[in-house]
Amino acid sequence: MSPAGLALAATVLASASGLGGLALHRRPALGQRVSAALLVGGALLGIAAALPVLLGGPTSLLRIDWGQPHAALALRLDPLAAFFLVPVLSVPALGALYGLAYWPQAEPGRRGARLQAWYGVLAGSMAAVVLADNALLFLFAWEVMALGGFFLVRSDADRKDAQKASWIYLAAAHVGSFALFALFAAVGGARGSFDFAAWAALPATGAGWLAVLALVGFGIKAGIVPLHFWLPGAHAAAPSHVSAVMSGVLLKTGVYGLLRTAGFFEAPPAAWGGLLLVLGGASGVLGVALALAQHDLKRLLAYHSVENIGIITMGVGLAMVGRSLGDPELVLLGFGGGVLHVVNHALFKSLLFLGAGSVQHATGTRDLERLGGLARAMPWTAGLFLVGAAAISGLPPLNGFVSEWLVALGAVSALDLPAFDRAAFVVLVAPTLALVGALAAACFVKVQGTVFLGNPRTDDAARAHESPRAMLVPMAVLAAACVSIGLLPSLLVPALSRAAAAWAGVPVERLAPAAGLAAGSAGMVSVVASVLAGALLLAWLARRRLGSAGASTTWGCGYAYPTPRMAYTGSSFAQILNHGFRWALLPRVRLAPPRGIFPTGARFSTEPREAVLDLALVPAVRDYVQATSRIRRLVAGRLHLQALLVLATLVAMLAWRLLWW
Amino acid sequence: MILRAIFQIGILLVLPPLLLGVVNRVKSVAAGRTGPPLLQLYSDLWKLIRKDVVYSRTTTWVFRAGPLVGLAAVATAGTMLPVAGQPALLAFPGDFVLFAYLLALARFATALAALDTGSSFEGMGAAREVSFASMAEPALFLVLVVMARATASLSLSGMLGPALAPAWKAAAPALLLSAIALFVVALAENSRIPVDDPNTHLELTMIHEVMVLDHSGPELAFILYGAAIKLFLFGALFVRLVADVGVAGFWAAEVAFVVELVGFAILVGLVESGMARLRLTRVPQMLVGASVLSVFALVLLLR
Amino acid sequence: MGSWTDIAFILVVVLDLFLLASSRLGAAIRAVALQGALLSLLAVLLTSSGHDVGHMLVVAGGAFLIKALLIPWLMFRAIREMAIRREMEPLVGYVPSILLGGLGVVLSFAFSRGLPLPTREMHPFLVPTALATVWTGLLLVVSRRKAVTQVLGFLVLENGVFVFGLLLTDFMPVMVEAGVLLDLLAAVFVMGIVMFQINREFASLDTDALSSLRD
């Protein structure tokens, strides 16, 4: 079977995986196992399909005509699609394994079978989006994906916040879909075909509004600031293995769409790349700034997705600038860094969300200030979470470092541009990345420290227990993937350069010098990693032969009875940086200061707000609804007024048609 | 060749404690005291490494790993630093990013170890350390990018190599501005006055020192040693950037380099003697100012 | 000689940034004085054979006397006699001020090349330095609370205009420049008197207090 055929089989298998649970509703535990097995099978098939393409095989096509005009089941598995296909199928599979213990269908009242069904549909539709070679097929899969996400966010339909978040998600997803319908209709109409193959080499001049449509449509899905407003709520409300899929891979379909659409255009102007760089930088900095202020573990992780999408967008922006300048280094390093970060973020973000799920599973809370000291009760979870935390902070020798490093190297490689070229300012991406990386590290020191280290802050945290093996193994697989990519990044460079060449429409040889540079340096990263390991070993040996003089309590600087309530909280930890970013957080501060000589009660609380949603969209929609409801009250029950409205609309449209068309 | 490599590793591993000795000596002399001997830190380290360790009952393996990772990461970063204008042991395009991120790894491990104790003071120190570091990091990157542009090189060895002297002729103002920024970053990253006072004993005002309160024995030695190496790394960057004396010959250049490093330590000591510690709210100002200075330097090169 | 001019221009910009970061009134006044001295130095440095040397020297000397000596002396006298507190008391914090100032510097240096100029450029840094200094002055006037610091902002603004003026020295009669300098001096005097009045009326120099002077 051709790789595309295998990929189709994987898609079908994944989509249908949930049916097992629906059919075996008498034996829910078995049904769930069947579903998980089908998803794992689908993921293995998907990897089997993607590997030959990544290793240099030809692009694989598959076309089944439906007899409908313009629509066809046309699939294309090229290197770009292959890079997305692997995480899109394997993260849901690992999530399903995790779900066996985390969200057992056997437990009553959890609507587990329904969740499993939509879960499979979501995985399958994401694969279909990535593989689609026809605009109508793409849109169909895109819609199914949005619906799947909607029902998955509502899995906990009894919870108010889940309901609210799911509706916001649905509305945002449809605004995006609307933009995509317009985009594809315009391009398809101009080209007379809805096959992506026919869309190659679109002229970029005068196509600015198409670029804006693509940016809105895909940007909402990806969560680029300021289109990220739906994301934190939805990702926090969903069950954790669903959050892992949504944050880890669902967002990436937006990036995929941006890349795919950018690939259609011939010689995009540098301004498009520049816009992506600015938006990416804003997403990176604001995403991590908002994350730092969160108290809810899963909301915090969701904001980090905004940050990482920002890093990816900066990589894509660099590649776009590189295409318009004809600079192969920028194309390769920007694209390679961006796409590799897509894969890396899928790995460590789903690892972190699964870890957050384990914490919630063990303690019943996601509130950072109510956790603490979990590393004693859950050593494995703590260790695996630490791998994810270090990876997302971009620390060597893990995978997050490699992709951020490629993007930074791409930015700095623009330094050989001649002076007076404003494109040389893309080099500012490098310090932006440094800022984002350092802030992310600060945030994950806060998370790891307040959740797993120190003493338990509440009884819930003190009663925590280690997760069952079904939850640990998927996390261990993800952590192992993070470490392996971090240690041996040079192996990925050839595949990345083939994908970049196909995307930019240049022969691979053109990118070869840049790829050589990247592979050589990536090899040196491995060398440095082994030096680090050696140094660590030496230091450990130097320390090991010495004894311990026993245990004691923590030095409390003279406090006789330090209690866990005195330990530094997550909010205190982030206070300096939150204060610096208060212009972006616009926190709601409630302060009842102590008064008098013998103050009684004093309270202080801050709550970060989602500025775009809470301060702009919600008030605007509320005003709109109020205004329209006034009209509705006026015309309610009065047929002649309603008819008048229809008539007025018709006349207005006629006038527009006659006068301005 | 091998001999030179061994010599460079030797300098990296042996010299750093001396620098701190010089700094302390300068401070003592400026304050009218005799001060500790120049080699005090070596004997401190030797004493500590033979002691036993005391652990808090709250801590886990993270606490034990902190000093090890901190020292290993800083020492590994040193292998990418060119000593005395000679290419570093490991030099490749983009190594400066790895250099900066290894320092970040050391900070990450130390801060986590501090939080592992559950002490509010150490949490405070860790919070300050990571917060100020996130302002120092962009400034450091900007300085490195300026150097990359001025020398048309993507590796530390190229930036601090023979291309530096012509770069000074062509772009002196930009390099001067970035050198000032680098010095500020060096003071902040090494917790020196005016950002942090390594000698204070008031936990509430400290940054780095308060993070490592609970470490003892060899682990404390690792932390002190790691801090000394870090000062050495920044010192080597700085002296190479500002004082690229064209001494011919390998050994002469190495000697000149060591002399310059001692000069750097004296400069740090003089700054510490002459300045008061800034209020903590002023530190971000200083670091952001350093970033803006180096952005200005970059713009001068790019326009 | 070229690189000395470069460094003088860059120092002017660095002093702009310093003023935005500075929290001490005394240091800020000294910085403005130093900036004034640098401007007169620049006027001399930019004099090449083609220019009217005497004209340039008059301008430079006048600028040095007034900007670097007289006005700072007046300002120091003012803060001493009115016992003004030393802090700058910003409405916009120091870090945002620095960032905004840095943004202005970056934009003016990156994009000033595209500006249409009436005459050929004497030095590539001249126009961007002028723009950045004007921007800094405006920022200081807008973002600082005390009347004294607003005067400082006004002085920086004028320094920026002066740099622009260097571009046009060939066209500008010496009398015009002397007039500008005298105007500046008069303005500082007037502000000094006004400050004295505000101080006496409100026992503070907070211009916010003036907003209660409604009818």
pLDDT in tens, A606-627: 888 887 888 888 889 899 999 8
B35 pLDDT above the threshold of 80: yes
Dig out the tokens for A406 from the structure.
């490629």
Q: Would an 8 Å CB–CB cutoff place A516 in contact with chain B?
A: no
Distance CA A121, CA A113 (A): 12
Q: How far is CA A466 from CA A375, A376, A479, B58, C79, in A?
A: 9, 9, 17, 18, 67
Residue A416 sits at the chain B interface (C-beta within 8 Å): yes
ipTM attached to this prediction? 0.96
Q: What is the gyration radius of the CA atoms in chain C, in angstroms? A: 18
- 8 Å CB contact between B155 and B93: yes
Give me the amino acid identity at C103.
Answer: L
pLDDT given for residue A498 in this prediction: 92
Task: State the pLDDT at residue A244.
Answer: 95
Instruction: Kindly tell me the sign of the dihedral angle through the C-alpha atoms of A34, A38, A43, A47.
Output: positive
* List of chains touching B (3+ CB pairs within 8 A): A, C
Contact A10, A49 (CB under 8 A): yes
- pLDDT tens string A461-500: 888 889 999 999 999 999 999 999 999 999 999 999 999 9
Which of A139-153, A579-593, C117-131 has the weakest average pLDDT?
C117-131
Percent of chain A with pLDDT over 90: 55
Q: Determine the average pLDDT of the residues in A528-552.
A: 84
| Per-residue confidence (pLDDT) for residue C57, from 0 to 100 | 78
Asked whether B150 and B161 are in contact (CB, 8 A), the reply is no
Residue A288 vs residue B246, higher pLDDT: A288
A252 contacts A90 by C-beta, under 8 angstroms: no
Nearest CA in chain C to A428: C106
For chains A and B, CB pairs below 8 A equal 263
User: What whole-number distance in Å separates Cα of residue A199 and Cα of residue A134?
Assistant: 10
Please state which of the ranges A86-90, A157-161, A354-358, A388-392 shows the lowest mean pLDDT: A157-161
For B285, the closest of C94, C105, C124 (CB atoms) is C94
Q: Which amino acid is at A367?
A: D
What is the arithmetic mean of pLDDT over B268-282?
87
Concatenated DSSP letters of A9-28: HHHHHHHHTTHHHHHTTTSH
- CA–CA separation, C44 vs C59, rounded Å? 9
Q: Say if the Cβ atoms of C10 and B289 lie within 8 Å.
A: no
Tell me if chain B has a CB within 8 Å of the CB of A189.
Answer: no
Averaged pLDDT for residues C30-49: 84
- Among B172, B284, B299, the residue with its CB nearest the CB of C110 is B299
Residue pLDDT, tens place only, B61-75: 999 999 999 999 999
Is residue A252 within 8 Å of residue A218, measured between CB atoms? no
What CA–CA distance (Å, rounded) separates A313 from A433? 12
Contacts of C15 in chain B (CB under 8 A): none
pLDDT band at residue A605 using 50, 70 and 90 as cut-offs: confident
Contact of A425 with chain C, judged by CB distance below 8 Å, is answered with yes
Return the residue matching tokens 């609309």: A649
Asked whether residue A211 carries a pLDDT value surpassing 60, the answer given is yes
- The C-alpha torsion from A554 through A557 and A562 to A567, rounded to 10°, is -80
- A371: closest CA among A197, A199, A571? A571
State the residue for tokens 């002649």: A640
Over chain B, what is the mean pLDDT? 89
pLDDT band (50, 70, 90) for residue A221:
very high
pLDDT at residue A250 tops 90: yes
Q: How far is CA A175 from CA A180, A214, A517, C73, in A?
A: 9, 12, 42, 64
Question: Which chain C residue has the Cα nearest residue B175?
Answer: C7
Token reading at A274: 């520049």
The pLDDT-based confidence of B230 (bands split at 50, 70, 90) is: very high
Average pLDDT over residues A218-227: 93
Q: CA B156 → CA A412, B86, B181, distances in Å? A: 13, 11, 17
Let me know: does B132 contact B211? Beta carbons within 8 Å.
Answer: no
In this structure, the strands spanning A588-592 and A603-607 are antiparallel
> What contacts B287, CB < 8 A, 6 or more positions away?
B132, B135, B136, B139, B184, B185, B188
Q: How far is CA A567 from the centre of its chain?
A: 32
Q: Is the pLDDT reported for residue C49 higher than 70?
A: no
Closest CA to A393 of C168, C100, B108, B219: B108
Residue with tokens 């002028």: C130
> What is the distance between the terminal CA atoms of chain A, rounded to a whole angstrom?
52
C23 contact B CB<8A: yes
Kindly write down the DSSP assignment for every residue of B149-168, as one continuous string. Answer: HHHT-SSHHHHTSTTHHHHH
What is the distance in angstroms between the Cα of C53 and the nearest Cα belonging to chain A?
33
| For the ranges A190-194, A264-268, B143-147, the one whose mean pLDDT is highest | B143-147
Q: A581: which chain C residues are within 8 Å (Cβ-Cβ)? A: none
Q: What pLDDT shows up at residue B264?
A: 95
Per-residue pLDDT tens digits for A62-114: 888 877 777 788 999 999 999 999 999 999 999 999 999 988 877 766 667 88
**How far is it between the farthest Cα atoms of chain B?**
59
Probe site for chain C from B280, B286, B296 (most C CB atoms < 10 A): B296
Asked if the bond preceding C90 is cis, omega within 30° of 0, the reply is: no
The answer to whether residue B117 neighbours chain C at the CB level (below 8 Å) is no
Q: Which residues contact C58 (CB under 8 A, 6 or more apart)?
A: C174, C177, C178
What is the rounded average pLDDT for all residues in chain A? Answer: 89
Q: Which of C95, C110, C113 faces A425 most closely, judged by CB atoms?
A: C110
Q: A: neighbours with 3+ CB pairs under 8 Å?
A: B, C
Which of B50, B1, B42, B10 is CA-nearest to residue B24?
B42
**C175: nearest Cα among C164, C167, C183:** C183
Q: What is the DSSP string of chain C?
A: -HHHHHHHHHHHHHHHHHHHH--BHHHHHHHHHHHHHHHHHHHHHT--TTS-HHHHHHHHHHHIIIIIIIHHHHHHHHHHHTT--SB--BSS-HHHHHHHHHHHHHHHHHHGGGS--SS--S-TTHHHHHHHHHHHHHHHHHHB-BHHHHHHHHHHHHHHHHHHHHHTTTTS-HHHHHHHHHHHHHHHHHHHHHHHHHHHHHSS-BGGGGGG---
User: What CA–CA distance (Å, rounded) separates C126 from C130?
Assistant: 6
Closest alpha carbon within chain C to A421: C110
Bigger pLDDT: C60 or C19?
Answer: C19
Q: How far is A489 from chain B (nearest CA, A)?
A: 14
Residue with more model confidence, B88 or A108:
B88
Rg of chain A over Cα atoms, rounded to whole angstroms, equals 26
- pLDDT at position A403 over 50: yes
SS3 category, A586: coil
* Sign of the alpha-carbon dihedral angle for C16, C17, C23, C24: negative
- Would you place residue C1 in the very low, low, confident or very high pLDDT band (cuts 50, 70, 90)? very low
Tokens of A451: 């959740």
How many CA atoms, within 13 angstroms, populate the side-chain half-sphere of residue A70? 14
Tokens of A291: 């994350």
CA A656 to chain centre: 43
Which residue among C3, C94, C101 places its CB closest to the CB of B172? C3
**Range scoring the smallest mean pLDDT among A141-145, A453-457, B264-268:** A453-457
- Model confidence at A203: pLDDT above 90: no
Q: Rounded to the nearest 5 degrees, what angle is found at the Cα of A40, between the Cα atoms of A34 and A45?
A: 125
Task: Collapse the DSSP code of A39 into the 3-class scheme (helix H, G, I; strand E, B; otherwise coil) and give the result.
Answer: helix
Cβ-Cβ contacts under 8 Å between B and C: the total is 54
Q: Could you tell me the end-to-end alpha-carbon distance of chain B, in angstroms, rounded to an integer?
A: 41
Spatial separation of the C-alpha atoms in residues B189 and B208, rounded to whole Å: 9
d(CA C137, CA C124): 21
Q: What is the pLDDT of residue B275?
A: 86
A24-28, B9-13, C79-83 — most confident range: B9-13
Contacts of A427 in chain B (CB under 8 A): 145, 149, 298, 302
Residue in B177, B295, B302 nearest the CB of C102: B295
CB atoms within 10 A of CB C154: 18
What would the mean pLDDT of A434-443 be, rounded to a whole number? Answer: 96
Q: Does A552 contact chain B (CB < 8 Å)?
A: yes
Q: Over the range A217-243, which residues count as b (16 or more CB within 10 Å of their CB) and which as e?
A: bbbbbbbbbebbbbbbbbbbbbbbbbb
Q: Which residue of C has its CA nearest to A419?
A: C110
CA A329/CA A402 separation, integer angstroms: 16
Residue B60's alpha-carbon distances to A368, A375, A555, B108, B226, in angstroms, are 19, 7, 16, 16, 21
Residues A315-334 have pLDDT tens digits of: 999 999 999 888 888 999 99
What letter represents residue C153's amino acid? G
Share of chain B above pLDDT 90, in %: 54
CA distance B24 to A630: 77
